[in-house]
Amino acid sequence: MTAVISDRGHRVRRLRGLWPTYQGILLGNLWYLGFWAVLIVVYTGIALGIWLWGSTDISLWETSTNSTKGTMAAVGVMLAPAFLPILVAAGLTRRSFVAAASAALATLAAGSSLLVALGFVVERWIYAANEIPGTLQNEHLYDDTSQLHLVFVESLLLQLAYAVSGALIGLCFYRFGAFRGILLILPCSVLAASTEALITGGTWFGPEVGAALGAGWPSWALIVVPAAAIAVGLLIVRALAIGAAVRPRKT
């Protein structure tokens, strides 16, 4: 009976620790709001310029996804060095850190993806008012930007893939030092690169390879396979974090 009560008490304390840790990681990434503020200002200026003086025949907002993916990768890279030693030293378990960090990444990616979808809504309204076609330049899960659910899902998968790849890179530098961390950048980037190539035919491997990787896949597989790969990536993050020391390795 005592063992059961002790185990339950441990689980309750662990759950109570997850919520403030999750909040702390989100607060530590408030700069991400600044990134979005700058992005919105820049694209608002471009949209006003098109409205007043010029025209285009492509979707400019489509290019915003490059910035969001890269920034989420930066968020992932900084998770281990910025948060892990402080939180573990304060008594949080490494497993709890990974759980809270994963939830924080998912929240940031979901919020960012909602803004990406909203951006396409605004762009479609501006383009329709000016009779601009808004042609998409890359392959996507969606055929038209009015398919907002697919816009959201694609953006979420890509941003999570980049964030998890970033977290893997950050943990490798943190745990193994700078030299081996540099050597592991490419393996850690496979998740982001392959997800990009599969969904959009991205240029990590060149347009021909990207197009070949994404060819012939059913629509459901283009969602399920990246989602499963992201889950595997998080399991690797967990394994690396559990063995990490409180102090990062220097060399």
Could you report the per-residue pLDDT of 127-136, keeping only the tens digit for each?
887 777 878 8
Q: What is the mean pLDDT of the chain?
A: 87
Higher pLDDT: 207 or 21? It is: 21
Could you report the per-residue pLDDT of 183-201, keeping only the tens digit for each?
999 999 999 999 998 888 7
Could you report the per-residue pLDDT of 97-115, keeping only the tens digit for each?
999 999 999 999 999 999 9
CB-based burial label for 92 (10 Å; 0-12, 13-18, 19+) = buried
Residue 52 has a pLDDT of 76
What gap in Å lies between CA 30 and CA 218, rounded to an integer? 38
User: Structure pTM?
Assistant: 0.89
Residue 16 pLDDT class (50, 70, 90 cuts)? low
Residue 12 has a pLDDT of 47
Beta-bridge partners for 135 = 58
Lowest mean per-residue pLDDT among 2-6, 50-54, 148-152: 2-6
Contact 40, 116 (CB under 8 A): no
What gap in Å lies between CA 66 and CA 208, rounded to an integer? 19
DSSP one-letter string for the chain: -HHHHHHHHHHHHHHHHHHHHHHHHHHHTTHHHHHHHHHHHHHHHHHHHHHHT---SB-SGGGHHHHHHHHHHHHHHHHHHHHHHHHHHTT--HHHHHHHHHHHHHHHHHHHHHHHHHHHHHHHHHHHHTT---B--S--S-SSTT-HHHHHHHHHHHHHHHHHHHHHHHHHHHHH-HHHHHHTHHHHHHHHHHHHHHHH--GGG-HHHHHHHHTT--TTHHHHHHHHHHHHHHHHHHHHHHT--SSPP--
pLDDT higher than 80, residue 165: yes
Structure tokens at 85: 């030693």
